[in-house]
Homo-oligomer: A and B are copies of this chain.
Amino acid sequence: MKQIRVLLIEDHFLARMALHSVLSGHPQIKIIGEAGDGESGISMYRQLRPDVVVLDLRLPRISGFDVITQLRKEFSSVRIVVLSNYQGSEDIYRAVHSGAMAYLTKDASGEELLNAIQNVDRGLRYLPHVALDRLAQRMPAVELTPREKEVLVCITKGRSNREIAEDLNIAEKTVRIHVSSVLDKMGARDRTQATIYALQRGLVHLE
């Protein structure tokens, strides 16, 4: 029976231990490598050519998204299972559209993880109901323009229109325009709601 060769890319020690003990208990899985950050994860992929990568999205230095993009560029057939703490629609969307084949949150069960890995190894997607719901819920995906994203980030930092104008070296009038379209596109009534939605959807993150 063919074993699925798995590479773990996960910075949290405890989470790595968890994955290790769940997966190594299963005869069909063989963990052939573990990386604690994106760069070493990528270079281990180059050397080991695993069947499936299990990837955390929040990594030090470079993000999980970057890892997906980079791996897809070099190895278009790479099979990636994303394992994230965040269930914001934006993270799911970005991960799937970067080329991830599965998206699990860290409250997943062992079976779910196993199923995901097996499916992904066969080239099939694996998205739990929650993830699909979030994606659908996001669907009215009115994309923000780059400038609007910048403005949104400022808003979620608690900056006033005037301050944003100074930050971006534009007139406050222009900031208002951008704020208006951001609110419109996000379905928010004011900047506080926009901030909450942006955080919920994973468009921005705290700290």
**Chain A residues close to B by CB (< 8 Å):** 11-15, 17-22, 85, 106-110, 113, 155-158, 160, 188-193, 195-196, 199-200, 206-207
Contacts and interface: CB of A to CB of B under 8 A. Distances in A.
A159 to B, nearest CB: 9
B158 A192 contact: yes
Number of copies: 2
Contacts of A106: 12, 14-15
B12 A15 contact: no
Given A17-B21, A21-B21, A195-B195, 17 more contacts: A11-B107, A12-B107, A13-B108, A13-B109, A14-B19, A14-B108, A14-B110, A14-B113, A17-B22, A17-B110, A18-B18, A18-B21, A158-B190, A191-B192, A195-B196, A200-B206, A200-B207
Contacts of A17: 17-18, 21-22, 110
20 contacts: A12-B106, A12-B107, A13-B108, A13-B109, A14-B18, A15-B106, A17-B17, A17-B21, A17-B22, A17-B110, A18-B18, A85-B85, A156-B196, A157-B196, A158-B188, A158-B189, A158-B192, A160-B189, A192-B192, A196-B206
User: Which of A12, A17, A109 has the most B CB atoms < 10 Å from its CB?
Assistant: A17
A206 B195 contact: no
A8 to B, nearest CB: 12
A14 B107 contact: yes
User: Which of A13, A14, A196 has the most B CB atoms < 10 Å from its CB?
Assistant: A14
Contacts of A155: 192
A4 B85 CA distance: 31
